Amino acid sequence: MAAATRNPAAVGPAATLGRAVIFVGPPGAGKGTQSKEIARRFGVPHLSTGDMFRDHVGRGTPLGLEAKPIMERGDLVPDAIVMSMVEERIARPDCSGGFVLDGFPRTLAQAESLAKLLKARSAARPVVLHFVVERQKLFQRLTGRRTCKVCGEIYNIYDRPPKVSGRCDKDGGELMIRPDDREEVIAARLATYEQQTEPLIAYYRNLGLLEDVDASVDVAEVTGRVLSILGRVQ
């Protein structure tokens, strides 16, 4: 899990988030790439449940040992485990000025639990950014993804290669392929998304919280689209 240093000046003196921003979309849609950038610009924490689980897996904690085979199959970790982890994280003081949620919620039960948590904190209404990208592009993005073992920076051998092959531009860390980016696991993850996460689109649309983002264009253009939505809803 990456928690950005608080630095509101990154987007100008008046820029504050003041709410939860939720990134929803299929695997490979660019949620991690964009949510990290938005968190950095607004100086708020970037909360990725996927990164949290990968951290537990890497450290071999009991939670990691439970999550590892589930993630390698492309299934979802049980809601109760996810919720206790998220609840503890968003209760920390650094989330008081808003935060970015990457890959959470992923089921209706998670979305309903999050709504209760936000209500209990009298938080502003969240913004839900729904990333839309066609399936063929998702496969290319996922099979081409490389991630820094040290800082988690995300690259792509087709669209966003590092300057030196296999090494992170920022810290020279080794770039790795995620174990769930094998083609057969990608197909399972996409099926899981369609069955368990896509119903959230209608749920949030009915609540008037959903903003569709065409995320098939290049990284900088998607960032611009997200910033313009966030500027409009502030």
Catalytic (active-site) positions: 31, 106, 145, 178, 189
> Of these, 100, 141, 200, 210, which contacts ligand AP5 (CB under 6 A)?
141
Q: How many residues does the chain have?
A: 234
Cα atoms found within 13 Å of the Cα of residue 213, Cβ hemisphere only: 29
User: Does residue number 155 form part of the binding site for ligand AP5 (CB under 6 A)?
Assistant: yes
> Of these, 82, 95, 114, 128, which contacts ligand AP5 (CB under 6 A)?
82
Site string for ligand AP5, 26-65 (x = CB under 6 A): -xxxxxxx---------------xx--x------------
> Of these, 19, 21, 24, 156, which contacts ligand AP5 (CB under 6 A)?
156
Number of amino acids touching ligand AP5 (CB under 6 A): 37
With respect to ligand AP5, which residue has the nearer C-beta, 30 or 126? Answer: 30
Cα dist. 59→4, 49, 109, 200, 213 in Å? 21, 15, 28, 31, 35
Residue type, 91: A
> Of these, 3, 70, 124, 229, which contacts ligand AP5 (CB under 6 A)?
70
Report the relative pairing of strands 175-176 and 145-148 from DSSP bridges.
antiparallel
Site string for ligand AP5, 111-140 (x = CB under 6 A): ------------------------------
Q: Least CB distance from residue 11 to ligand AP5, whole Å?
A: 20
Report the relative pairing of strands 20-24 and 127-132 from DSSP bridges.
parallel
With respect to ligand AP5, which residue has the nearer C-beta, 8 or 188? Answer: 188
φ and ψ at residue 158, rounded to 5 degrees: -90, -50
Nearest 5°: the CA angle 31, 181, 57 is: 85
Whole-number Å distance between alpha carbons of 8 and 44: 8
The strands making up 127-132's β-sheet, listed across from edge to edge, are 46-48, 99-102, 20-24, 127-132, 210-214
Residues lying near ligand AP5 in the complex (CB under 6 A) are found at 25, 27-33, 49-50, 53, 70-71, 74-77, 82, 103-104, 106, 110, 141-142, 144-145, 154-156, 159-160, 180, 189, 215, 218-219, 222
